[in-house]
Amino acid sequence: MSALHIKKGATKHSAYNLRPTFSDVQEKHTLAVLVENEPGVLARVIGLFSGRGYNIESLTVAEVDHTGHLSRITIVTTGTPQVIEQIKAQLGRIVPVHEVHDLTVEGPSVERELAMLKVVSDGEKRVEALRLADIFRASVVDSTLNSFVFEITGAPDKIDAFADLMRPLGLVEIARTGVAALLRGV
């Protein structure tokens, strides 16, 4: 009788499969968290992220139900699938949290962000800034003899593209609201 020559982890169906199943792929996820609108809740949610070394790329918070005293926190974060699942589970365990939704996996969603950009320029650069603003459907909300403040709404990529084009034209300051997102459809 010959001995079995089976290597450890030879196949994924083997009883000897000792390979880790964790992924190292970083994914960006948008989480919508419905919470009680009371003091300290936001600090607890943010503390969950900072205490475990997770990064928040975007954060928006607003009261969405005045009678029920509920607020919606929209968080954009990056991590491996295991880290994202851990974040969702830990968010769900916080007492004032009512619901946790991962908009990235639950279906198609709409994401929008508002930004204001201050551009200081003169001459032809000033005219070019106005042309680009028209193309991107940005509004001029303030104007002086040497500067503009543009307001633009759209997907984060659109705002990034507009800012990249405005940098050589004299972009000096940006203020962004962070992502607001909703699932599409019913």
CA distance 159 to 113: 8
- Tell me the chain's radius of gyration from C-alpha atoms: 23
CA distance 97 to 44: 10
At residue 156, the pLDDT reads 94
Q: For residue range 82-93, list pLDDT tens digits in order.
A: 999 999 999 999
Superfamily of domain 27-106: ACT domain (3.30.70.260)
CA distance 26 to 41: 27
At residue 1, the pLDDT reads 54
> Which residues, in sequence order, are CB contacts of 108 under 8 Å at separation 6+?
183, 184, 185
Are domains 27-106 and 110-183 of this chain identical in fold? Answer: yes
Residues of the chain with pLDDT under 70: 1-22
At residue 185, the pLDDT reads 87
Residue 48: count of CB within 10 angstroms of its CB: 16
- Reference 42, options 91, 88, 85, 84; nearest CA is 91
What pTM was computed for the model? 0.79
At residue 8, the pLDDT reads 54
For domain 110-183, give the CATH number: 3.30.70.1150
At residue 173, the pLDDT reads 97
Domain ranges of the chain: 27-106, 110-183
At residue 24, the pLDDT reads 81
